[in-house]
Each structure stands twice: as structure tokens, then as C-alpha cells.
Amino acid sequence: MPATTTKVALVTGAAKRIGAEIVRQLHKEHFNVVIHYHQSDKAAKELANELNEERENSAYCIAADLNNMEQINNLAMQAQQHWQRLDLLVNNASSFYPTPIGETSEEDWDQLINSNLKAPFFLAQALAKKLGEYHGCIINIADIYADKPLKKHSIYSIAKAGNAMLTKTLAQELAPMIRVNGIAPGAILWPDDSHKKPEDRLSDDNKEKMLAKIPLQQRGQAQDIARTILFLTQSPYITGQILTVDGGRTITI
């Protein structure tokens, strides 16, 4: 099958929340989209069906565990072969949970490092040749806590700090054929803690305290991240940068 003339984007962790909004916005901008997911099979397929109803053969799902190198490589292979093209990789998938010192296991380390740092690196490596053919770009989702650590989240903060450096090193190494940038979100969506015990959930009082520290006095929306991704895809002279999207939170830390 010849390569499509339509731009193609792979978004990891794309079945729900911010990832799904990124996919929808890219699709509106006439990208074909590869929707990566791990366990959210139903949500991923519903999203793909929704987009394929709008534009036939424009969305495709691939399941992969980003803790598994074989599955990472298979994801990369399928993503670039489906339409014989790739213009954009968005490394959005991320694990996030507390790892207090004294209560943390090697499994926690592997889970957080793999999803936030290892998988983005190896996906970039596996897809660099195809992305380079189309002068494509990579966008990594970092975090404001890459620079200022979040208490009781040491491994997550370490992983996101590595993700920020990954953006800079890839931008240098893959230039001039591929641009690489990052986005550091602040409070965008509250954590999905419905599966947690009530005492472990983020309380309304704590949410209000967090919002009070944000100059814009509100949390962001998934659309804010998706729009920033669109901006970066349309900015051919920006590479190696990490844009902070946090309502001004970092100027108050």
C-alpha cells in the first residue's frame, strides 16, 4: 500500500483524558491518528470508531505495555507501517502515583521510569528514520515537577526530569530532520483516584489550596495541552524547548 498523503500522528496513552483530547484535536487538523493504549481497550476502540465515522480510515488502535521492550518495538513497527507514514510522535503515556521513601519498591521504580522515560526514548529511536523522512516532530509531555520536585513523588519527579533532558538531547541529535519539544503541564485534570480509598483521595479542600497558588486561579483543561501541541507542530523554527502550561504556577513556587 502506498504511503498516505495525510499526516499521521502516534499518541501514547491516548484512550482517555488528555491523550484522547490530543487525538481529537489532531484529527480535527486532518491528521490520521494512531491511538495507543494499554488496558483501556473499550475506550480506545470507541474513540477510534467515533473518529472513523467522521472520516473513514483515519484512526487506528494499538495495544502495548510500555514496560515491555518487545511491545514497545511492536508498537513502533505497527504505527509506521499502517499508513506507511509518520509525522508526529506524542509521548503522552505516564504513570503517576506517590512513592514515599521507605515504602517504595523496585517495581514502582520500573513502572514510573519505564512509562515516563524509557518508553519515550525507545519509541523515538525506533521511529526516528520514518519521522525524518517527513521532517516530523516529537513532543514529550514532561511536568512542572521535573524542575521542582513533588513531595512523596520522588521517582515520578526523577523520571520527568529525565524526560525534560530527553527532549533536549533528542532535539540536538535528531536535528535538522526532526524537531523535538516538550510540554510541562501544571494542574490540568485532577488525578483519577476513584479506585482509591476515600482517605487517599485528593480532597476538595486540598484542591482549593492548590488552585489558590495558581495566578490564574483555575486549573487548566485538556484542550490547553492539545492546543499547545498543535502550536508546536506548526512552528518549524522551535526545537529543544519545553513550554510550561500551568496558569503561572511555577512563578509562585
Please, where are the H alpha helices in 83-139? 106-113, 119-133
How many other C-beta atoms are found inside a 10 Å radius of the C-beta of residue 116?
30
User: If phi over 0 gives left and psi between -120 and 50 gives alpha, with beta otherwise, what is residue 187?
Assistant: beta
d(CA 214, CA 217): 5
Q: Which of 226, 206, 216, 223 is nearest to 246 (CA)?
A: 216
Q: Are 122 and 170 in contact (CB under 8 A)?
A: no
Count the Cβ atoms, other than its own, within 10 Å of residue 177: 13
Active site residue 237: no
Exactly one of 37, 60, 145, 156 is catalytic; name it: 156
Q: What is the DSSP letter of 105?
A: -
Which amino acids are annotated catalytic? 156
